[in-house]
Amino acid sequence: MLPNNVQKVLCVQNEKTKDNVPGGRNALLVVVFALIIIVVGAGSYWMGLAPFPEGNGGEAVDSLQSPQAVALLGALEKQQNVSQKYVLEFSLDDLYGYGTMVRIERNGDSGMVLHKGSIYDERYYFEEGSEFLCVNFPGEGQKCTGVSPGGELKNRTTQLRQEFLFAPEGAAEDMRRLIKGGKIVFKKNATGAVVAGRACTNISYEYVDAGYVVKIERCFDDEFGIALRSSDTYLVGGESATYSAQYSFFEVPQELVINMPEENSDEARVGELLASGNSVSMQAAQCIGDVGDAGAYDKCIFRVAFDAKDARICMASKDEQGMQSCITRLVVATGTPEYCARAEAGKDNCYLEYAYAKKDRSYCTVITNSSMREECVGAIEAPPPVAAEGN
């Protein structure tokens, strides 16, 4: 129902235009339409000033006394009791002066965490039999980490970007202010996303054995100068050694978390290659994003291997037959028979194919399968005898 004064105005306007002014009905429609726009616009304006909806899953709790807030802040404050992680970081695809960083973390049963982000000026140093990776950060100086010659990840006192490992000093207080300011809102029994404010999206949590897993898709807070990075995961609560506070300031990397593979399993090849820190591992690391999809991952590995013309990259494949075929084809194409041994069960076939392609009987002799060895020798003509000197 419109207010009386508006009704009177409309009535007067209608009386004046109904008989005397052509198009009076159209003028009335224009006025009514304008009033509707004003009412809807005002409602939208006030709705825009209201907080974002909090999603599904239960009553919102934005108090610092909420169990989730207490658990998160308590874990941050106790992080000196959290066991250190073993970390290796190195640069990938050097591009325009910076590259992509991959970090492997091994911390009990917490799994393997691979991180990608930007670092600068990769340099390798060797000291007392250990290989060190040192990175120069503008304005921060050089920071290094190391790996032993045997490939065992070592914990160093000087890690690359310490804040990548644990929350920086004062993180608990910053997090407390974010919670108090409504930037992070926890919900009881939340199953869906919780949108805590204009600067943050998709904040949710779930309960796991080790505590709370707080997943924050994206949150940038200019007031506190804090970035909670994309697809981040906080393992919170208890004294568990699996706790990982991935919390940092602006310019932070992306994160992909996968389960730690069984020792000597196909998946473990990825970690072994990455841990080696050489150019092969850097090439293979391009495919880490596809590791959850075996088909896509293997195709990526094979593509990278053929682009790089390096049979060693094939070893990262989880497809045993595909890996053997990949190595064999690249060995023949690049003339690198020394890599046939890496084809494992397919190494005899690799030597056979190489011997055929190069018409070189000498590679028949290293074939362990007797029937294949005889087939190889019989199919390739013996080289002509060397003429004796003086004849």
49-71 confidence digits (pLDDT tens) = 333 233 333 344 445 666 556 65
Confidence of residue 246 (pLDDT cuts 50, 70, 90): very low
Stated pTM of the model: 0.32
Mean pLDDT across the stretch 210-217?
A: 38
Q: Are 118 and 98 in contact (CB under 8 A)?
A: yes
Q: How far is CA 267 from CA 138, 274, 298, in A?
A: 36, 12, 11
Higher-confidence residue: 142 or 260? 142
Range among 26-40, 211-225, 294-308 with highest mean pLDDT value: 294-308
Range among 78-87, 117-126, 292-301 with highest mean pLDDT value: 292-301
Find the range with the poorest average confidence among 25-34, 130-139, 279-288: 130-139
- Residues listed for the chain: 391
Q: Are 130 and 147 in contact (CB under 8 A)?
A: yes
Beta strands in 62-199 (DSSP E): 86-95, 98-106, 112-116, 118-120, 122-127, 130-137, 141-147, 186-187
Q: Are 52 and 198 in contact (CB under 8 A)?
A: yes
Q: Does the pLDDT at position 331 exceed 60?
A: yes
Q: Does the pLDDT at position 248 exceed 60?
A: no
3-state secondary structure (DSSP) of residue 372: helix
